[in-house]
Amino acid sequence: MKLDTYLEAANHDYDPTAQLVRAKFSGAGYHSRLTSGTLVHPLRESMTYAAYLLASGEAKNHERAAHVLRAVLSYQDRDPASRTFGIWPYTAEESLAEMNPPDWNWADFLGSLIGLILASHADSLDEPLVEQLRHALRNAAMAIFRRNTRPEYTNIAIMGAGVTLMAGELLPDPFLLAYGRRRLERIRISVEENGDFAEYNSPTYTFIALEELSRILFAVTDSETRATATYLADHAWAVIADRFHPPTGQLAGPHSRAYSERLALRTVRLIEHATGARIHYADAGALETGRKMPGPMPELVPMVPCPQSLRHRFAAQASGSPAENRVVRNPVIRGIHSGKDMVATTWLGERATLGSVSADSSWVQRHPLIGYWREDEAIATTFLVHVMKDGREFASFMVRTAQQGNRAVIGLSPLANSGDWHLYLDHPPDHQFTFSDLRVSFVVSSPQQPTVRGDGSSFLLAADGCAVRVTPVGGAFQGDPVRWETESDPQRAALHAILYRGDPLTLDFRTLEKTWLVAAIDLVTAGVERDHSDSEIQVEQRGSDAMVRWQRGIELAVPTSVELYPLDPSIWKQG
């Protein structure tokens, strides 16, 4: 999108009274108590608007930008003794004290924009405002230092490194520069040791990491920093190239952090711009989620380009050429589950793809098993597994998978020490959850009128010429058998494994036993009527695990009682 096109649209949202932009609030369901759809004045979007006004180079826009900057800066907590020192609330309508809880990431998001504005446009602003910006940048950088996020929180670890590095050079402050340099180096070491970013293969945050690394390379001159940032940017592009699937125009799974099933339009456009490829999709509007500007935002700094050696991975197959069938398998975090590596596996076929990770949580932002396929010019059909509590995604299950090609076994067990909607932010102190309905849903989403049918021993979810066959293998809820039900509408077909449905039940997840579910998954691109024979899938109890074996050497051990979540929640918390 051109800058003037963006500004023309954004100017309509400007509120001259508040000197901030207006937008309908859309949150992830935590941090803010505001209702989705409420008209608010968002501070990050306002700061972004100010940055683009300055980038226009027009004096009248510079004047408005100054008004916006002063308004946004006034909302930062500037008390060094305060717990929320250095951060901002999401909106002008909700103070930090009213949020539940405040989002410490806003020191990173707004601090990054302030650093970029000071690096690029300080000479377009009056000296008192420049000093206010410098003071706000120092506050944000010190909040980031005090929080000291670990490399496991990939996008914020990189963004916070960028803020402290820019503060170190712009203020200048040798302490912050040294801290930022060490922080970025720790991320490089983590990638080398684990094989990938901890937030592996994220359709959202891998691209945010690229944007932040681009800002570092634009604004920071330190040679050691630039070498590390270049290494990490090259790795990010390699991650994307490994699992991008041209036939569907999607980043194949599994995904560690995602906010939607399909790529956002701005991400599709970004890939096209960075690689020169033309990505096929039918209805661009269908790829959008939430209220976004059409297409990618104008570049505030040049994006680190995709290396030339990787660009062929994004090109659609030429007519008549053989389609690529390949499997990508790599560790993403080493030694995290009982000393075993977390391993991501992706099958990329001629028109379909299936990806899974050996073990991860059922948090809504995780896609531990996801498939895509597409025919002709249709929107990509998606297949995804959800754990639902009273109709809402539930984070307190562990999802384990074993995959070979287009087949996988999936096993689910309850988790203790995890949260409800979020992994940690809404973790009940007594480990007890209350619900009337708890289920695992296998869902195909497509505008091509998906269908679901089965006889209890096997179910077929079909759309757009392909299908996923789901074969129940075993499962129980507190020892009681699981019930299977089907549901469909014009754009969704679902198979539900009903763990519990009845009067409200309160359970301590630390003591939950004999609760588990196992199913076999087969993404069928031809011969969809083919059935599995019972002899293909074997399950036996081995201690506290159900051991599942399937042909092609697929083996999976699934705990039949609760287990502790293995990641340290401190990566999410302040301090």
Divide the 575 residues of the chain into consecutive groups of 10 and give the mean pLDDT of each group: 89 97 84 92 97 96 98 98 97 96 96 98 97 98 96 93 98 98 96 92 94 97 98 97 94 95 88 88 43 63 94 71 77 73 94 96 96 85 97 96 96 92 86 96 94 94 94 96 96 97 95 94 71 67 91 89 64 43
What are the phi and psi torsion angles at 503 (to 5°)?
A: -65, 155
Cβ 345 vs Cβ 403: under 8 Å: yes
Closest CA to 13 of 89, 68, 93, 74: 68
Q: Report d(CA 203, CA 284) in Å as an integer.
A: 17
Cβ contacts of 182-186, under 8 Å, gap ≥ 24: 183/157, 184/158, 184/216, 184/225, 184/228, 184/229, 184/232, 185/224, 185/228, 186/150, 186/151, 186/157
Element containing residue 163 per DSSP (H, E) = helix 154-170
Q: Report d(CA 305, CA 214) in Å as an integer.
A: 9
Query: What's residue 379's pLDDT?
Result: 87
CA distances from 242 to 126, 207, 260, 342, 346 (A): 47, 14, 20, 17, 9
Cβ contacts of 457-463, under 8 Å, gap ≥ 24: 457/534, 458/531, 458/532, 459/484, 459/486, 459/495, 460/528, 461/383, 461/493, 461/494, 461/495, 462/493, 462/528, 463/381, 463/493
Cβ 85 vs Cβ 142: under 8 Å: yes
For residue 420, give both structure tokens. Answer: 């409800």
Query: What's residue 319's pLDDT?
Result: 41
Q: Report d(CA 385, CA 477) in Å as an integer.
A: 18
Q: Determine the length of the chain.
A: 575
- List 497's β-bridge partners, or say none: 440, 484
Domain spans in the chain, listed from the N-terminal domain onward: 1-144, 148-316, 358-571
Mapped onto helix, strand or coil, the DSSP state of residue 113 is helix
**In Å, how far from its chain's centre is CA 467?**
26
Q: What is the pTM of this model?
A: 0.90
β pairing state of 369-373 and 359-361: unpaired
